[in-house]
Amino acid sequence: MNTMHKICGSLLGLGLIASPAAVAQDDSLFKVGVDYWWGQTKVNEINRDDSDNPSFSLAYEHSAKYWPNVAFRYTTVDADYMAFDKSDLMFYYNLLTHDALHFDAGIAFTNYSNTKFVNDATKEQIDFDKNTWNLFAQAEIRVPNTNFDVIGSMEFSDRNDLKTTDLEAGIQYRFAFQGQRQLALKGGYRAIDIESRDFTVNAEGYGKEFIFVSGWFVGAEYQF
- For 190, counting Cβ atoms within 10 Å of its Cβ (0-12 exposed, 13-18 middle, 19+ buried), the class is buried
| Per-residue model confidence (pLDDT) at position 13 | 52
* Residues 55, 218: Cα–Cα separation, whole Å: 10
Indicate if the alpha-carbon torsion angle 10, 15, 20, 24 is positive or negative: negative
User: pLDDT tens digits for 102-155?
Assistant: 999 999 999 999 999 999 999 999 999 999 999 999 999 999 999 999 999 999
| Per-residue model confidence (pLDDT) at position 16 | 47
State phi, psi for 146 to the nearest 5 degrees.
-140, 175
Closest CA to 76 of 5, 156, 4: 4
| Per-residue model confidence (pLDDT) at position 63 | 87
Residues facing 30 on adjacent strands: 60
| Per-residue model confidence (pLDDT) at position 23 | 46
Could you tell me the residue ranges of all domains in the chain?
2-223
User: pLDDT tens digits for 94-105?
Assistant: 999 888 999 999
CA angle 190, 187, 75 (to 5 degrees): 45
Q: How far is CA 114 from CA 2, 137, 183, 198, 207, in A?
A: 13, 26, 32, 16, 24
Indicate if the alpha-carbon torsion angle 184, 165, 8, 17 is positive or negative: negative
* Residues 205, 209: Cα–Cα separation, whole Å: 13
Q: How far is CA 74 from CA 32, 39, 94, 138, 190, in A?
A: 12, 15, 22, 16, 14
| Per-residue model confidence (pLDDT) at position 120 | 96
State phi, psi for 197 to the nearest 5 degrees.
-60, -25
Positions of the chain with pLDDT lower than 50, given as ranges: 1, 3-6, 8, 10, 12, 16-19, 21-24
For 2-223, which CATH class? mainly beta
| Per-residue model confidence (pLDDT) at position 65 | 87
